Structure 1
Amino acid sequence: MINTAEDEEKEQKSSSSILNKSTLDIPKYCRPNVNNTLQEQAESLLPFYTFNELTRHNDSNDAWICIFGHIYDITSLIRKAQGTKLYQQLISYVGQDISFLFDEITHEPRRRIHPQTFESVSAIENLSILESLGIPFWQTKDLFIGRLTEYPRYIRLIHNFSPDHPFILEIAEEETIGQIAIKFLKYNSHIFSYIWRYNQQILDFNKTLTENGIPNEELFHDKYGWRSDNENCSTIVLCFSDDLTIA
């Protein structure tokens, strides 16, 4: 269900009432962070990323690639490859999904027929150089950092003290509220000290948006072929608490 302007106004007014309520009355999984417990729990979970997040990590100093939904940070590998033919090849892959270079069954590089020699060669050129640097990264978990979401979605975050300055954030459907909060830390170092609320409900940091009863409206729009954009996303109100964590 899409939030109307009237719904948002009611949400903003009602959010102020929580300031006078002791956080002890709030379940611990919804309560502002205590001793960084919520943050530690969120950091222990498998991260999920959107395709847009993947594409932003696209240079030699910050290099991610995706293979069959698995995201790898190959920045260290690129440094090792400097001075070799492999270097520019890896640079051409960063920030992209390169699953097309791999076999769907074996998850190993595809084979192709060389147009001049007619020999069977790897779809990844200079594979021998890559193998000389160690076990190929797709065969280990050393460079694996998370999964690519199948269902990206947007949410609108509003501070109850400044409702006129919303923040639109693209997140993965599989992420918990705690994991979403981690991504928001770069904008607000005290984000785990806020109570997150949606339509009068206090959200559980250990559950996803859907598990907290917040539907993915992107799927609804896609089903009926409606135009979908981040202006129609769900609104979450961040309620200030005096139980601030240390930045």
Structure 2
Amino acid sequence: MPESSTIPPLLYNNLTSPIKRRFYTPYEVSEHNCVDDCWVSFLNKVYNLTPLIKQNKTSPLIEPIVANAGRDISHWFDPSTEDIKTWIDPLTNERCYYTPMKRFLHIPPPSYEAKGSQKEPQANVPWWKDKKYLIGSLSKKTRFIRIINTLTHDDHQIEVCSEETLSEILDRYLKFNGHAASYTWKRLGQVLDMSKTLAENGIEDEDKEFEELGIRDDYYIPAIHLMYNDDLTIG
């Protein structure tokens, strides 16, 4: 079936889901951007810090974290150690954590502030090393695809993670069609392997080539066609 020349509008409301995923898009992370719903990403991982913020809601040390809710904070970290960056404090000539954004939770105060001040409780494991807040990985490259239902003629454009299998993309698409698993997924007439990624199915990411040629990345968006199997699953 030839692809329609009319590209449907991009809909982001399919991207937020309470379902835990292996990979998240930067947009998904950005939707969790307040004190009551705080996600951050760093070093290609995604963390849900909402419980941490809730437990320390009266502490001013949550302010730098909340101010960056929904954002990538990899620049806070040294990739070689996966720890917060350090520097030599010019006042003490001691190596300490580098926090130009203000000191935050689980960062000890400098020695000249700690003396005579009330001791702050410190976690056994700082939040950036605590796996209980880790919910998945940040996609290194997202892609846009069209999913066309040949039975209903519905045509949706969605953003997905290039690392995801077609089964995981199907899970995202359930927002639009709860019976999506009852369809055969095809590309240019060929049945797709749902256990493989888009690239592994021969649907290459051509963004780099488009960029080199000066072509807009939304000029061409690959389409997947859903063929009805007459075997409805429970939505």
1:157 aligns with 2:147: yes
1:126 to 104, 118, 131: 104
Q: Distance in 1 between matches of 2:131 and 2:212?
A: 36
Q: Distance in 1 between matches of 2:198 and 2:46?
A: 23
The equivalences for 1:24-173 within 5 A come to: 47-112=22-87, 120-124=95-99, 125-128=103-106, 132-163=122-153, 165-173=154-162
1:180 aligns with 2:169: yes
Q: How much has 1:116 moved relative to structure 2?
A: 7.0
Gap change, CA 1:191 and 1:61, over 3 Å in 2: farther
Percent identical pairs in the alignment equals 34
Q: Distance in 1 between matches of 2:201 and 2:129?
A: 36
More helix by share: 1
Q: How much has 1:115 moved relative to structure 2?
A: 7.4
Q: Which amino acid aligns with 1:209?
A: L
Question: Structure 2-normalised TM-score?
Answer: 0.77
1:8 to 3, 11, 31: 3
1:240 to 204, 225, 228: 228
User: What is the match of residue 8 of structure 2?
Assistant: none
Gap change, CA 1:244 and 1:133, over 3 Å in 2: farther
Q: How much has 1:60 moved relative to structure 2?
A: 2.6
Q: How much has 1:109 moved relative to structure 2?
A: 0.8
Gap change, CA 1:243 and 1:60, over 3 Å in 2: farther
User: What is the match of residue 16 of structure 1?
Assistant: none
Q: How much has 1:143 moved relative to structure 2?
A: 1.5
Q: How much has 1:128 moved relative to structure 2?
A: 3.4
Q: Deviations over 1:2-53 (max 9, x none)?
A: xxxx8226xxxxxxxxxxxxxxxxxxxxxxxxxxxxxxxxx99x71222222
Secondary structure, counterpart of 1:97 in structure 2: coil
Q: Which amino acid aligns with 1:172?
A: C
- Give the number of aligned pairs: 206
1:228 to 199, 208, 217: 217
Q: Distance in 2 between matches of 1:67 and 1:83?
A: 25
In structure 1, the gaps of 5 or more residues are 1-5, 10-42
Q: Which amino acid aligns with 2:175?
A: K
Gap change, CA 1:188 and 1:134, over 3 Å in 2: farther
Q: Distance in 1 between matches of 2:105 and 2:56?
A: 12
Gap change, CA 1:206 and 1:162, over 3 Å in 2: same
Secondary structure, counterpart of 2:83 in structure 1: coil
Give the root-mean-square deviation of aligned CA atoms. Answer: 2.6
Higher relative contact order (CA 8 A, sep 6+): 1
Report if the CA contact (8 A) 1:192-1:245 is conserved. yes
Q: Distance in 1 between matches of 2:106 and 2:137?
A: 27
Gap change, CA 1:128 and 1:215, over 3 Å in 2: closer
Gap change, CA 1:219 and 1:86, over 3 Å in 2: same
Q: How much has 1:101 moved relative to structure 2?
A: 0.8
Question: Structure 1-normalised TM-score?
Answer: 0.73
Gap change, CA 1:195 and 1:153, over 3 Å in 2: same
